[in-house]
Amino acid sequence: MTTKLALLLLFLATTCAQRNRVLTKEIQAKITNGYPAYEGKAPYAVGLRMNNGAVGAGSIIGNTWVLTAAHCLTTDSVTIHYGSNRAWNGQIQHTVNKDSFFRHPGFPNSAGHDIGLIRTPYVSFTNLINKIPLPKLSQQGERFENWWSVACGWGGMANGKLADWLQCMDVQIISNGECARTYGSVADTNMCTRSTDSKSACGGDSGGALVTHDNPIQVGVIVFASKGCKALPSGYTRVSDHLDWIREKSGIAY
């Protein structure tokens, strides 16, 4: 992993964004140039508020499991907000302590393993609260290049305030080779999306899901972006490369 990419990953690992913090131009935490989601667009999306003052996102993958970034689980507890596009105003809220956190053993010592799980109290599914399927075990070798996808999250705006409403962006998955032309190198277990029309993920969106448009499945977890969240590729942990670990910890497999 290059020093350049290591610094970007460190940037996001320390900006599962701090609530009420005034952000500099270099650490804006938002889906840049996205659009407000309609209610029910992403029923799998959950907002995370950590007891250390940070915020992030995750996705429902089962009645008792949330998938997120490992760097969002470096805290003692997290409150999960389900079922509302309005940030931190979930129809259901659960506070879960670190005994129910599972970070991939490769994090943070090797690139491409910034992925984690939260075991939660049981949540019933509705039209506003529902799981997102994962890739099938037979798709472990699929790179999903050129697939169109959507990423959503809650993050701070340029003035440092957090977005009140879920923001989404439609983006195309690119090859790691194309992504490496920006970042120098990209781990096989990471993936990237092209920044069309200056769309980008950023720090406060960490842990959110990248979901395919066709036959929706979650293929990525938001983990890195360019410094300043400029019009450059956004980076994700590749879910298809972590299916065995997810099955081992949660029992969820397709």
Catalytic residues: 71, 114, 206
- Helices and strands (H, E) in the chain, number of each type: 3, 14
Q: Are 153 and 222 in contact (CB under 8 A)?
A: yes
What is the spatial distance between Cα 115 and Cα 220, in angstroms, rounded to a whole number? 9
The residue type found at 94 is H
Rounded to 5°, angle at Cα 142 from 68 and 155:
30
What is the spatial distance between Cα 183 and Cα 203, in angstroms, rounded to a whole number? 17
Q: Which helix (H) or strand (E) holds 5?
A: helix 3-13
In angstroms, the first-to-last Cα distance of the chain is 31
DSSP 232-248: S-EEEEEGGGGHHHHHH
Q: Listing from the earlier edge strand, what are the strands of the sheet with 45-50?
A: 92-97, 77-82, 45-50, 55-62, 65-68, 116-119, 101-103
